[in-house]
Amino acid sequence: MKLQPFFIYSMLTLLTALSSCGGQKVQDEVHINEKEFTAEADSEWTNMFLRKSGWFGGDGIFAIPLSGRDSEKNDSLLFLFSDTMVGEIQRDSLQPRFVMVNNSVSLLKGKTADSSKMAFKIASQNGTYKAIFSPKTNKPDKDTYFWLGDGFVNPDAGKDLFIFAYQITNTHDKSPFPFKETGNVLIRVPAGSPFPYADQQQKPLPFNDYKSEGETISFGAGIFNNTASAGEAEPDGLAYVYGIKGKSKQLVSARVKPGQIDAFSEWEFWNGQGWSKDVKSVKALSDSVSNEMSVSRLAKGKYALVYQLGSIFPQICMQLGPTPVGPFGPRIVLYKTTNDIQDPDLFTYNAKAHPALSAPGELLISYNVNSFKFFEIITKKPNLYRPRFVRVKFSQQSSQTNH
Q: What is the CATH number of the domain that holds 287?
A: 2.115.10
Q: What's the number of domains the chain is made of?
A: 1
What does each C-alpha distance from 377 to 1, 21, 32, 215, 249 come to in angstroms?
18, 29, 37, 34, 28
Which one, of 107, 136, 108, 109, lies nearest residue 121 by Cα?
A: 107
Element (H, E) at 269: strand 268-270
Summarised one tens digit per residue, pLDDT across range 142-155 is: 889 999 999 999 99
Q: Does residue 92 lie within any of the structural domains?
A: yes
What residues pair up with 64 in beta bridges, in sequence order? 78
Position with higher pLDDT, 232 vs 345? 232
Q: What is the pLDDT of residue 211?
A: 77
Kindly give, in sequence order, each residue whose CB lies less than 8 Å from that of residue 328, ignoring residues fewer than 6 positions away.
Answer: 285, 286, 305, 319, 320, 321
First CA to last CA distance, the chain: 46
Q: Report the distance separating Cα 324 and Cα 337, nearest Å.
A: 26
Q: What is the pLDDT of residue 302?
A: 95
Q: Contacts by 38-42 with C-beta closer than 8 Å and gap 24+?
A: 38/392, 38/393, 39/316, 39/334, 39/335, 39/390, 39/391, 39/392, 39/393, 40/390, 40/391, 41/339, 41/340, 41/388, 41/389, 41/390, 41/391, 42/364, 42/389, 42/390, 42/391
Which of 14-28, 131-145, 235-249 comes out lowest in average pLDDT?
A: 14-28
Q: Does residue 305 lie within any of the structural domains?
A: yes
**What SS3 class is residue 303?**
strand
Q: Does residue 156 lie within any of the structural domains?
A: yes
Q: Does residue 402 lie within any of the structural domains?
A: no
pLDDT band at 8 (very low <50, low <70, confident <90, very high): very low
pLDDT band at 398 (very low <50, low <70, confident <90, very high): low
Q: Report the distance separating Cα 292 and Cα 309, nearest Å.
A: 11
β-pairing verdict for 388-394 and 362-371: antiparallel
Q: What is the pLDDT of residue 141?
A: 78
| Dihedral angle, C-alpha 92, 130, 369, 108, nearest 10 ° | -90
Show the domain range for 22.
6-51+58-394
Q: Does residue 127 lie within any of the structural domains?
A: yes
Q: Report the distance separating Cα 133 and Cα 145, nearest Å.
A: 8
Per cent of the chain over pLDDT 70 is 88
| 17, pLDDT greater than 50 | no
pLDDT band at 222 (very low <50, low <70, confident <90, very high): very high
Q: Does residue 399 lie within any of the structural domains?
A: no
Query: What are the DSSP E strand ranges found in 23-98?
Result: 37-41, 53-58, 62-65, 76-81, 84-90, 93-94
Q: Does residue 373 lie within any of the structural domains?
A: yes
Q: What is the CA radius of gyration of the chain?
A: 20
Q: How many CA atoms lie within 13 A of 346 on its CB side?
A: 23
Assess contact for 344 and 371: CB atoms under 8 A. Answer: no
CA angle 199, 201, 205 (to 5 degrees): 170
**What SS3 class is residue 199?**
coil
Q: What is the pLDDT of residue 31?
A: 41
pLDDT band at 16 (very low <50, low <70, confident <90, very high): very low
